[in-house]
Amino acid sequence: MTKIIVIGIPSEKRACAKLVTAISLLVASLMMTYGQKLFYDMLYVLAFLTPLIAVDFIRTMRAVKAAKYFFKNCKLLRDFLEFNEEIKVKWGFLEAIGHRTLSGLYSHDAFFIPDSDLSKVKKIKLGDINKDYFIVLSKLGTGAAVIPGFKVWEGKSKGVIVTFLKPQLILFKPNEEDVVLKYGQHIAEAEIKPRISGLEGAVYVYRGEGKCHVELALICTVEVEKHPFRVKVVLAKPKNMLERFNYNCRINETYIVVTYGKNLSPIALVKKIGLKTPLIIGMVKGDVIIELKMRIPLRKILTKKVKINLIKLHALPLTYPYIV
């Protein structure tokens, strides 16, 4: 089943409320400072902020209008996406770069790198698109930060960004059934098993003297259009004594996400569309490693890696009923 989820398209009522509130505050400030030296400073502030507020309001209303126009302009018929008018499209991929901000949070910037010339289309067979992301970009929106390592499709349609997410099934088979990590009195034991829906595992942590922190992570190298991406997904962070971690990732739906004007990080995207994190999908090539880390007192870290063989990878069957 296909879900169409609208994200980030601003509300007309909220935009009007923001405009009225901003103007009211500025006028009130002028009235309170009338007859004072600060009055002329407030006039300069008003002259500076008024164009910015007006431009933001106009862009918001254009975005709302663009979203309504897009839904009216396109329709899904079986496995075809039809537009009432021709749109310009370009094939390519997203390259995401992660970095830490000044606040210490991890941020993602995505850049669309085209690998084809512009062409006009009016009807697209979705079954022919062997891609995980289907993105419509416009002059109003310049990009969208998504989970790195997936192919995309770019087009222009009156200011709206549309993302088609096609999940895939990945089955893993670990070389070792059990992983045991020991350091003194600290023991971490992990068991990973392949499942139809992804990976299922359990981590048992035994605490001796002091505190023990164990992190179980999946590190995989994803290759798209000969561009490798290295992705790390933390599966568990158990603390204290004898904690169990169960992971069962079920990917059985195709999601269509409509966004506007905001660069969504991978984590934000997954949370907004209601998927359980971590989301493990995509064309995986190369080494897939289960990495077990143990951090013990005095900041000592003990690490053990277990190589995992990829035994099966295939896309889910596509069905595209139009559900808003």
Contact (Cβ atoms closer than 8 angstroms) between residue 79 and residue 110: no
Q: For residue 28, what pLDDT is reported? A: 84
- Number of domains the chain contains: 1
Residue 131's alpha-carbon distances to 115, 238, 241, 251, in angstroms, are: 14, 35, 43, 16
Q: Which amino acid is at 190?
A: A
Contact (Cβ atoms closer than 8 angstroms) between residue 140 and residue 157: no
Residue 177 has pLDDT above 80, yes or no: no
Of 283, 204, 293, 198, the C-alpha closest to 248 is 198
Q: Where is 65: in which H helix or E strand?
A: helix 38-73
DSSP state of 276: P
Residue 321 lies in a domain: no
Q: Which amino acid is at 233?
A: V
**Predicted confidence band of residue 5 (pLDDT cuts 50, 70, 90):** very low
CATH of the domain at 201: 2.60.40
pLDDT tens, 128-174?
544 433 444 332 333 333 333 333 344 444 444 444 433 333 334 44
Residue 193 lies in a domain: yes
Residue 144 lies in a domain: no
Give the DSSP per-residue string, 217-271. Answer: EEEEEEEETTEEEEEEEEEE--BSSS-----------EEEEEE-S----HHHHHH
Residue 139 lies in a domain: no
Q: For residue 114, what pLDDT is reported? A: 57
Q: For residue 61, what pLDDT is reported? A: 77
Residue 229 lies in a domain: yes
Average pLDDT, the chain: 54
For residues 27 and 276, the model is more confident at 27
Residue 28 lies in a domain: no
Give the DSSP per-residue string, 294-321. Answer: EEEGGGEEEEEEEEEEEEEEEEPPP---
Q: Residue 99's CB: how many other CB atoms inside 10 A?
A: 8
Q: Where is 188: in which H helix or E strand?
A: strand 186-195
Residue whose structure tokens are 């277990």: 306
Residue 54 lies in a domain: no
Contact (Cβ atoms closer than 8 angstroms) between residue 141 and residue 135: no
For residues 61 and 227, the model is more confident at 61
Q: For residue 235, what pLDDT is reported? A: 56
Q: β-strands 80-100, 198-206: how paired?
A: unpaired
Q: State which residues form the domain around 224.
A: 169-250+280-313
Q: How many secondary structure helices (H) and strands (E) does the chain include?
A: 3, 17
The separation between CA 99 and the C-alpha centre of its own chain, rounded to angstroms, equals 15
Residue 207 lies in a domain: yes
Rounded Cα gap, residues 276 and 270, in angstroms:
7
Q: What is the pTM of this model?
A: 0.36
Of 94, 74, 92, the C-alpha closest to 84 is 74
DSSP state of 79: T
Mean pLDDT over residues 94-113, rounded? 44
Rounded Cα gap, residues 208 and 11, in angstroms:
55
